[in-house]
Amino acid sequence: MISAYDRLVAFARELQLVSDSASLLGWDQEVLLPRQGVAYRAEQMSWFSGYLHERFTAGEVGEWISEAEAAGEGEGALDPVVAANLREWRHDYDHATCLPTKLVQDFAEARVHAQSAWAGARKDSNFALFAPHLEKLVDLSREHAERWGYEESLYDALIDRFERGATTRGLSGTLGTLREALLPVVEAATSRRSFDRGRLAGHYPVSKQEAFNREVAEAIGFDFEAGRIDTAVHPFCSGIAPYDTRLTTRYDEGDFLSSLFGVLHEAGHGLYEQGLRKDWRGQPVGNAVSLGVHESQSRLWENHVGRSRPFWEKWLPRAVHYFPHLSGLTPEDLYDAVNQAELSHIRVEADEVTYDLHVLLRFELEQAIFAGDLAIGDIPGEWNRRFESYFGLPVRNDAEGCLQDIHWSMGIFGYFPTYSLGNLNAAHLAAAAKRKDASIEEGFLRADYAPLLGWMRREIHEKGSLLLPGELIELAAGSPASPEALIAHLRERYLGE
């Protein structure tokens, strides 16, 4: 007889095949799809989400889960893989079925309109064009959160979609501490002498950048037999499967660092995807655990590796090979070039030091919106007031202010804090890894990151979703994530401490 649990495993594997197919269609849409194919592709994507939702929310799935849970309860200590799968299936099933179809459809429709309104509003820098759509998405998200439920604050329910186990209270504490510690570093870092970027001026042909990036990605462990790098307007990493992990970056023929850091960041995500256990593919336990942990991997390779001195000692000679006009520069020059800090308006262009200030602003505003303390119409004023107070810069228009990010137009609230969690986790894990295994620190000094990757594979990648994100970090690092390591890292890098 096939047990309910075995049925679930087979069923989840089948849905994974289908959802990975949809991921490929989504990847293709960003990278290759001819313009005229967009509307048809949207129909396809909508079919996939409808199909997956329908299959997953079928009554029999709920019965299998209950049955498997009951069987598990009779057994005493459950196998940790079984326990993790049941935990995730229950969570996802309850989440998927708590929403009436009408709400799901309204949400999908509102998002389509909101995204197009947002694009127009940002172009015209006119928040009023976007406001009614944002209002609608906030209302729907509030209803969503109410139905899903929460312990303390409604915003908790939104965060939970992206970072299991995180709460408003917990994040406020952590990110508040980060902010206090960050402010003096920001002040010192942004007033340092800056590197003259003119010294990097020159022509960097795309084909040479591609070859250089590939060499770097391969050296840090990205497996091109199980992945690719392509070009897209916005760099991203699509984990279509652990056997097929696709990064994208974008090329500026006047600046090789832009595509390189796109690759380093996305390769960090890609190494995580490639490191997931293939034999668990299709089961929840085989998935990456959370956005905050995913972002820790991208930030690790981008900031801790790519912006380090030894990295440039190793890689500047190869860069000179591809771009001979760089031959007059020293590794220290490159180190300075990639570690400039500056207070500026746009989050996605922010450096390692000021980035979290951008996130904190959004985190505060989202809390205020969902607590009912900030009306939609008052967002631009409040954004601009806080921005000027934190960054010392006036916001000249909404396009460089509250309209700059796409997230809200997609109905995504509670996502921003995971960016800062990523920064914080990256530093916390890197420090722990170095402390626990001396060969990692030695590797860093020679720009040999095999020991580091090996540690991440064992402690993070291969564990998939066995634990909740906070538990996973704590077990790997020996202590719960805190801002301490990130602050120490930034103070060392920018204040020379």
Residue 148 in contact with a copy of itself, rule: CB under 8 A: no
Q: Is 25 one of the binding residues for a copy of itself (CB under 8 A)? A: yes
Q: Yes or no: say if 262 and 249 are a contact pair by the CB < 8 Å rule.
A: yes
CB of 11 to a copy of itself, least distance (A): 13
Give the whole-angstrom CA distance, residue 153 versus residue 414. Answer: 12
- Cα–Cα distance, 420 to 352 (Å, whole number): 11
Q: How many CA atoms lie within 13 A of 364 on its CB side?
A: 17
Instruction: Supply the minimum distance, in Å, between the C-beta of residue 47 and a copy of itself.
Output: 5
In the complex, the smallest distance separating the C-beta of residue 460 from a copy of itself, rounded to whole angstroms, is: 21
Tell me the angle at which helices 59-73 and 4-31 cross, rounded to the nearest 10 degrees.
Answer: 130
Q: How far is CA 355 from the centre of its chain?
A: 14
Contacting a copy of itself (CB under 8 A), which of 26, 221, 227, 270?
227
Among 3, 6, 10, 47, binds a copy of itself (CB under 8 A): 47
- Binding to a copy of itself (CB under 8 A) within 230-249 occurs at 240-241, 243-244
Q: How many residues bind a copy of itself (CB under 8 A)?
A: 33
Site for a copy of itself in 51-90 (CB under 8 A): none
CB atoms within 10 A of CB 90: 16
Please name which of 486, 456, 460 lies closest in space to residue 471, comparing C-alpha atoms.
460
Residue reference for tokens 């996305």: 266
**Integer Cα distance of 109 and 97 in angstroms:** 19
β-pair partners for 149? none
How many Å apart are CA 391 and CA 343, to the nearest integer? 6
Choose between 41 and 113: whose C-beta lies nearer to a copy of itself: 41
448 interacts with a copy of itself by CB under 8 A: no
Q: Is 468:289 a contact under the CB 8 Å cutoff?
A: yes
CB of 244 to a copy of itself, least distance (A): 4
Only segment of 222-230, 308-316, 358-366, 435-443 that touches a copy of itself (CB under 8 A)? 222-230
- Hey, is 240 helix, strand or coil? strand
Q: Choose the binding region for a copy of itself from 15-23, 70-78, 374-382, 453-461 (rule: CB under 8 A).
A: 15-23
| Choice between 33 and 81, CB closer to a copy of itself | 33
CB of 225 to a copy of itself, least distance (A): 5
Active site residues: 266
Residues at the interface with a copy of itself (CB under 8 A) = 14, 17-18, 20-22, 24-25, 28, 32-37, 39-41, 43-44, 47-48, 223-228, 240-241, 243-244, 281
